[in-house]
Amino acid sequence: MQHGVRLAGSLVVSLVVSSLCLAGAGVGAAAAQPLLAEPIRPLPVASGADPARARLGRALFHDLRLSRDNNQSCATCHQLANGGADKLVLSRGVGGLAGARNTPTIYNSTFNFRQSWTGRHSTIDGLLDHAMGPAAGSIGNWDLVASRLTGDAAIGERFNAVYGDDVSANLLKDALGTYLKSLTTPSRFDRYLRGDKAALSIDEKAGYARFKSYGCVSCHQGINVGGNMYQKFGVMREVGQGAGIAADLGRYALSRRAADRHMFRVPSLRNVALTAPYFHNGSVASLEEAVSAMFKYQLGRDAPKQDQELIVRFLKTLNGEPLPAGARR
């Protein structure tokens, strides 16, 4: 029931957001009819983030001084040219130490109902607070980061130009948070959902039809094609130790509830073709393998290779088109 409520809420919010977006943008309403009955909703055409604050946040996102040893920035793990992830099996922190899980994409994270694989954080601000904490290898907290940057005249001028105030912990977090909210990636598929039937090929449309008919949309739907519920990894078939996945108990480590064993936030599939390796432990190297594993462990069924290939073609239409300006410094 709890999952159902989250799903219903996500779809309602998605409908409202996309409707407002279409109304404001005036996207050829007479020429193209949006596909309003679809389980996936289009991203807004524009993020709505304040451009000046987002530009300042982009500079901070790439600033090595936010890490303890001045060797790592947010962009070290969340590489914008690589789908907002880092292509590593497990993320790496200060000193090159391997983390426990694969780096999730930072793109479109503002549309997730919770942040991180286990939903530890409810908002972008909460995620930023965690990233700035000692456990993540930062210099400690926002006040310490602000004190480190205060002596930089160029940064100070930028804060005064944007906020009319000096560098402070609250403004640092606001600038970074605004930038993260600007990292949205409308795709060809979003154009299709808005009524541009030529945006997808025949095979890509067939792949989307199979994505729905096989039940992939039971978890991957809404505005972020996922990111709006928890699900057990291995819901239809237990994942053995040989897959390297069963050792991670997921949300159970936070809640200590038996029902949360191996439960993770369902990842968004936007830009999924760019974010290999896959799953919370990076155990699968290719998108084709990931789709096959989903049939086996989540759907509990087989599918012809041709159908799986068509689904992969559909998933590639979810790449941002083009990659947002945030990918260029």
Cβ distance 102 to 115 under 8 Å? no
Model pLDDT for residues 102-161, shown as the tens digit of each residue: 999 999 999 999 999 998 888 888 788 777 765 556 656 788 889 989 989 999 999 999
At 317, is the pLDDT very low, low, confident or very high (cuts 50, 70, 90)? very high
Q: Does the structure show a pLDDT above 80 at 95?
A: no
For residue range 27-83, list pLDDT tens digits in order.
444 467 999 899 999 999 999 999 999 999 999 999 998 887 788 889 999 999 999
- 135-174 residues labelled b (16+ CB within 10 A) or e (exposed): ebbbbeebeebbebbeeeeebeebbeebbeeebbeebbbb
Question: Contact 6/228 with Cβ under 8 angstroms?
Answer: yes
In sequence order, the 6+-apart residues with CB closer than 8 A to the CB of 8 are none
Which has the higher per-residue pLDDT, 13 or 162? 162
Residue 164 corresponds to which tokens in the numbers above?
Answer: 């009319």
The structural domains of the chain, ordered by start, are 2-45+186-320 (1.10.760.10), 51-184 (1.10.760.10)
Reading the block at residue 234, the tokens are: 């291995």
